[in-house]
Amino acid sequence: MTTRRLVLSRSAAVIGAASTGLLLPGMAQAQSGKVRVGFMLPYTGTFAQLGVAIENGVRLAIDQQGGKLGGREIEWFKVDDESDPSKGIENANKLVQRDKVDVLIGTVHSGVQMGIQKVARDSGVLSLIPNAGVHAATRGLCAPNVFRTSFSNSQPTRALGAAMVAKGHKKAVWITWKYAAGDEAFEGFKESYTAAGGTIVKELGLPFPNVEFQALLTEIAALKPDAVACFFAGGGAAKFIKDYAAAGLKGKIPLYGSGFLTEGVLDAAGPAADGIVTTMHYSDSLDTPRNKAFRLAYATTFKAQPDVYAVQGYDTGLLLVQGANAVKGDLSAKPALYKALESAVIDSPRGKWTMSKAHNPVQDIYLRVVENKENKVIGVAAKALADSGAGCKMV
Ligand code: PHB
């Protein structure tokens, strides 16, 4: 009885508030208010630079589209997730429960993403993943309100193995941080490398975010493989590249990687990065008007060169604008919103891409080589590559 009265009086209040344009405290934001957009990203630690690039990309895309979402102004919220999986749920709830965001944009680290995924599934908040590639997010734990604008962890490396074998490198060592991103990148690498006739002689790993590579580099020198393939990113990637050269391996054992290895680190790594070959859904040197315009706008706005993370952020902004415009800013119109997001074609600096049924980009993967602090495209390693979406009930 009490509950019923409460519901009745609350709905009367909603109607009253809507007609007067007022918002009551604790009430979901009416369409006329600002759209509440929350960033949950790493702003400290080895992935700090990645978080900044993503946020910059999102803001640039939205600014270029008029700075609004479906005609509504935006109120921004931010949480530093520190790439700490143990605080993933708590941090996501700061945005969802405390700040009552309409959209949660995050994050970079796959382990932290699992916390966001739980909160997104429990609360139904619109969740846009601008980096973290954890398979579960668009496979077994996929959800109608979760969309990824980046990649699945095995997508870039599924194009790597064949490229290495084609260069005659038939025996490889794999090295990574031991957590979901590294392990799932390995899955893609193993599949592509062994299918092309390569043999993985050893898998090496260290816990995230450790950067004590010395003992492992000594082991690689002793194993003498034809090549090394790896997954590292951010500050740790810059250090790995420099340590690899300092250990005397550069020029002796070619280094390959999932393209994150050489994203956003080329100034820090310097000449030690020259010649590294990687596979990735973006390349600085893509010779398209779209990419050139993006790079110029980003560099002018932020006084920094964009990288793949900036592109993923930018595409997240583009996707959100498309979705919000389709529902004229009413993000509570969920079926129409999801339909718009599912059918979006993103005109990205990386090239046009679409959403798979499990909400992960279907995209080209480029083969690149580092030359003079640039990831130069040298080929297309895979065309319109989709993740399997295995175990996703929406597929
Ligand atoms: C991840 O944890 O999913 C991750 C982090 C950094 C990257 C790529 C993937 O560059």
Same fold, 25-151+288-355 and 155-280+367-385: yes
Q: Which two tokens stand for residue 229?
A: 């393939």
- The 3-state DSSP class for residue 74 equals strand
Cα 325 off chain centre by: 23
CA distance 49 to 263: 10
Q: For the segment 174-192, what is each residue's pLDDT rounded down to a tens digit?
A: 999 999 999 999 999 999 9
Q: Is the CB of 116 under 6 A from ligand 1?
A: no
The residue ranges of the chain whose pLDDT is under 50 are 1-30
CA of 234 to the centre of ligand 1 (A): 9
b/e string for 192-202 if b means 16 or more Cβ within 10 A?
bbeeeebebee
- Residue with the nearest Cα to atom 5 of ligand 1? 109
Q: Give Cβ neighbours of residue 274 (< 8 Å, ≥ 6 apart).
A: 370, 371, 372
Ligand 1 atom closest to the CA of 263, numbered from 1: 10
Q: For the segment 316-328, what is each residue's pLDDT rounded down to a tens digit?
A: 999 999 999 999 9
Q: CA-CA-CA-CA torsion for 175, 201, 170, 365, nearest 10 degrees? A: -30
Domain 155-280+367-385 is found in CATH 3.40.50.12500: no
ω into 25 cis (within 30 of 0): no
Ligand 1 atom closest to the CA of 309, numbered from 1: 10
Q: Is the CB of 109 under 6 A from ligand 1?
A: yes
Task: Parse the chain into domains and list their residue ranges.
Answer: 25-151+288-355, 155-280+367-385
CATH class (in words) of the domain with range 25-151+288-355: alpha beta
Residues in the chain: 395
- Sign, Cα dihedral of 287, 291, 293, 295: negative
- The 3-state DSSP class for residue 316 equals helix
In this prediction, residue 32 carries a pLDDT of: 61
